[in-house]
């Protein structure tokens, strides 16, 4: 079954909005390469981003371009393996013990903090 524009417009694509250093805002749809727009306000940007998504999808359908669908929560198990140096493993384990938390909890908090700091820089 071939999907139509309405189908793709209903999918929960991830909208990324960032302040533009020269003023206003820039937004793009993470899963749709090149689907980007800008505006002076966030409200205007959201409207324009929806229009940009619709135009991107319509053009892709017309040209027969494969359209990626957004990732679903069930695509992620919440688990991954990480290899690290023994010395770092030791430092993390000792820190977790001192804090009275599991190594998993400590690693999760450190990763979340790093992601938050990284997002703040962008």
Mean pLDDT of the residues in the chain:
90
Q: Which fold has domain 5-63?
A: Double Stranded RNA Binding Domain (3.30.160)
> Looking at residue 72, what is its pLDDT?
78
What count of other Cβ atoms lies within 10 Å of the Cβ of residue 56? 22
Cβ-contact 96, 103 below 8 angstroms: yes
Cα dihedral 36→42→48→51 (10° resolution): 90
As a whole number, mean pLDDT of residues 66-84 equals 84
Q: Average pLDDT of 62-71?
A: 92
The better pLDDT of the pair 81, 38 is held by 38
User: Pick the residue with more confidence: 54 or 116?
Assistant: 54
Instruction: Provide the token pair at 117.
Output: 């700091």
- Per-residue pLDDT band at 122 (split at 50, 70, 90): low
Q: What does the block give as tokens for 2?
A: 């071939």
Tell me where in the chain the CATH 1.10.1220 domain(s) lie. 77-121
- The per-residue pLDDT for 116 is 84
Q: What per-residue confidence (pLDDT) applies to 62?
A: 95
- Listed in sequence order, the residues at least 6 apart from 68 whose beta carbon sits closer than 8 Å to its beta carbon are 31, 32
Q: 81-121 pLDDT, tens per residue?
A: 889 999 999 999 999 999 999 999 999 899 988 888 877 77
The pLDDT of 3-32, averaged and rounded, is 93
Tell me yes or no: is domain 77-121 CATH 2.60.40: no
Listed in order, the ranges of the chain carrying CATH 3.30.160.250 are 5-63
**Given this model, what pLDDT does residue 78 score?**
81
The confidence score (pLDDT) of residue 34 equals 94
């Amino acid at each position: 079954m071939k999907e139509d524009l309405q189908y793709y417009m209903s999918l929960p694509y991830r909208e990324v909005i960032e302040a533009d250093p020269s003023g206003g805002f820039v937004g793009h749809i993470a899963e749709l390469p090149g689907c980007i727009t800008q505006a002076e306000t966030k409200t205007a940007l959201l409207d324009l981003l929806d229009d940009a998504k619709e135009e991107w999808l319509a053009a892709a359908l017309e040209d027969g371009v494969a359209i990626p669908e957004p990732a679903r929560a069930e695509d992620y198990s919440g688990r991954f393996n990480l290899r690290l140096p023994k010395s770092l493993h030791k430092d993390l384990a000792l820190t977790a013990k001192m804090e009275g938390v599991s190594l998993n909890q400590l690693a999760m908090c450190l990763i979340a903090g790093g992601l938050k700091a990284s997002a703040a820089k962008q």
